[in-house]
């Protein structure tokens, strides 16, 4: 089992240069994206959950952290999340979980998984609807050829001739 865990840090707003400098002084090497709204860190810990909690404690007070997540799936194929909720949010989650006869963590996992699945199904339905409109006016071969050309253009770099 690996002891180093890659963690993605999503921020509520872009970091200022001073905030980034102070965070790096806490002994956490950080990689920053171009718009300073996401960070990557590697945390040594016993497991992914421990890594998230450890980073939250080390960086939380000085950064506008929204969500911490493991960058790679765990043994069950799931990405771990660490979200700081307000007291009222926690109370609402506990109440909703109790009404479903679940623990809060199980309830949140179930709700997030369900919401993501519904979103994906909605996206696929929208794609199928658009495809039906295309197929009403074009042959399947034309649509496939156009898709292949578009994919080829995406793979080329912006500076390619």
Q: Is residue 126 part of a domain?
A: yes
* Domain co-membership, 80 together with 106: no
pLDDT digits (tens, 9 = 90+) for 41-87: 999 988 888 999 999 998 877 788 889 999 888 788 888 888 888 89
Q: What is the pTM of this model?
A: 0.66
Taking the C-alpha atoms of residue 143 and residue 80, their distance in angstroms, rounded to an integer, is 39
Taking the C-alpha atoms of residue 161 and residue 33, their distance in angstroms, rounded to an integer, is 28
Q: Taken in order 12, 14, 19, 24, is the CA torsion positive or negative?
A: positive
Q: Is residue 130 part of a domain?
A: yes
Rg for the chain (alpha carbons), in Å?
A: 21
pLDDT digits (tens, 9 = 90+) for 77-130: 888 888 888 899 999 999 999 999 999 989 998 998 899 999 999 999 999 999
* Domain co-membership, 14 together with 79: yes
């Amino acid at each position: 089992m690996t002891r180093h865990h890659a963690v993605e840090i999503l921020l509520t707003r872009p970091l200022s240069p001073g905030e980034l400098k102070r965070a790096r002084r806490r002994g956490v090497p950080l990689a920053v994206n171009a718009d300073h709204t996401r960070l990557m860190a590697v945390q040594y810990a016993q497991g992914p959950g421990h890594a998230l909690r450890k980073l939250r404690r080390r960086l939380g007070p000085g950064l506008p952290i929204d969500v911490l997540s493991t960058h790679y799936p765990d043994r069950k194929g799931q990405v771990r999340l660490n979200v700081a909720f307000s007291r009222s949010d926690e109370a609402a989650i506990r109440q909703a979980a109790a009404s479903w006869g679940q623990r809060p963590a199980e309830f949140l996992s179930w709700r997030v998984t369900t919401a993501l699945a519904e979103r994906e199904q909605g996206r696929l339905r929208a794609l199928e609807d658009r495809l039906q409109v295309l197929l009403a006016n074009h042959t399947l071969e034309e649509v496939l050829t156009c898709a292949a050309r578009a994919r080829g253009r995406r793979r080329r770099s912006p500076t390619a001739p």
